[in-house]
Amino acid sequence: MFKFLNFTPSRIKDLLLIFSLSISIFLVFRHPQAPLSIAITAPSSSPTRRHHLLFSIACSSNSFSRRSSYIRLWYTPRATRAVAFLDKPLSSSLDPTLPPTIVSGDTKSFPYTFPGGLRSAIRVARVVKEAVDRNETGIRWFVFGDDDTVFIVDNLVKVLSKYDHNKWYYVGSNSESYEQNLKYSFDMAFGGGGFAISYSLGKVLARVLDSCLVRYAHLYGSDARIWSCLAELGAVLTHEPGFHQVDMRGNFFGLLTSHPLSPLLSLHHLDAMEPLFPNMNKTQALEHFFKAVNVDSSRSLQQTVCYDRFNQLTVSVAWGYAIQVYEGNQLLPDLLSVQKTFSPWKRGSNVEAHFMFNAREFPRDSCKRPLVFFLESVVSEKKFVWSNYTRYSDGNCPRTDAIKKLKKVRVVSEKVELDIEQMMAPRRQCCEIMPSYNELMVIKIRKCGVDELISMNV
């Protein structure tokens, strides 16, 4: 009677599979569940703000008062967190417009063997540890620089917001001098230009820094010691070209009028430069420059080029600083290279001048140079910013009729609000010259079209 039930091993396996499948279907319909999400994302942290940065400035008691005018340009007591580390106490009373000062710890026990170097390099290197050991609350980034370094704080906040402060980041830039990088390292952030270390990396670096200082007694500077210790930790440099060591002397005009698209973050070696604007001293010129920085820091020194096809003119705008008007059509790649208006950092007849950027010669004959207009004023309205530039005298050089009477240039632009995506994939903006000008040329800066070219249109 049970001959049809042939329970072979394979038949038993099939029956078990059918039974388990039936149970699964029953449970699903009996207890329906919400579908699983494809991906679960952690909530993002709050945006990085000014108060998340702690600036640590390496100073000496001899230079602090003399260079305090540089610090006042970027430091605001209520909005900027900063500490100045000195070699000894100041003789004068505390100035409320300057950061609080701290006397660095004793470094006599650390060896220093670089011939002819300065032992202060050890003290300056230990500023990193002393800044971290303050245990200030709410810090995401430790920023380091010298007392002759000017920071563009709002731009620095925006740039550092690209990176996660909970991860190990060492952010800075090289020297502009090829020889300086070759002598020290292409992988090192030069301390004068300033650099930033994320909170998580700073905490670790502070714990091990003193042992590194013993091993690297033979090095010259503080930045080389910090980089060497970071290298032992396995951390690498994240390059941000807006930090400027400025290893050069003299007239910085060529460097500033061909700034990269990255936001301007710092300028160093201010004592070695000529005033940024004619007929001003260094401090007055920097204060004048910061009138534009304080209105639209993200656009400061951003270069754009436009062409007047009818009059055969090429106009290069370095916003907030200077405008150059060239007679004839100039190729854009040529205008993006830096004019060598400066001299190398090292002096001497046998010094080679190799730089870390494309450079072109600056004509000795002033009549072969473009017509230059320097910043006069900046006015911010609800939607637009008006920056005005005045013609700089070039003597009795012959000029074409189109610009012979030109005295001023006015630039109309919208304030730049950079987000992380724009900084990760920057694009140069376009400009156009309004028709029919005589003494006043008006230029409008705008976003380029999708397939628009910045070209001569010939």
Architecture of the domain defined by 294-447 = Distorted Sandwich (2.70)
Same fold, 50-244 and 294-447: no
Q: Any idea which fold 50-244 has? A: Spore Coat Polysaccharide Biosynthesis Protein SpsA; Chain A (3.90.550)
The domain segmentation of the chain, as residue ranges, is 50-244, 294-447
Residue by residue, DSSP assigns 307-371 as EETTTTEEEEEETTTEEEEEES---HHHHHSEE--EEESS-STT----BSS-EEPPPSSGGGSPE
- Residue 16, CB-side half-sphere exposure with 13 Å CA sphere: 7
Both structure tokens of 264: 């301007």
Residue type for 82, please? A
pLDDT tens over the chain, length 458 residues: 434 345 454 554 454 445 454 544 444 344 444 333 333 333 347 899 999 999 999 999 999 989 999 999 999 999 999 999 999 998 877 788 999 999 999 999 999 999 999 999 999 999 999 999 999 999 999 999 999 999 999 999 999 999 999 999 999 999 999 999 999 999 999 999 999 999 999 999 999 999 999 999 999 999 999 999 999 999 999 999 999 999 999 999 999 999 999 999 999 999 999 999 999 999 999 999 999 999 999 999 999 999 999 999 999 999 999 999 999 999 999 999 999 999 988 877 666 778 999 999 999 999 999 999 999 999 998 889 999 999 998 888 999 999 999 999 999 999 998 888 888 999 999 999 999 889 999 999 999 999 999 998 65
Q: What is the pTM of this model?
A: 0.88
Residue type for 285, please? A
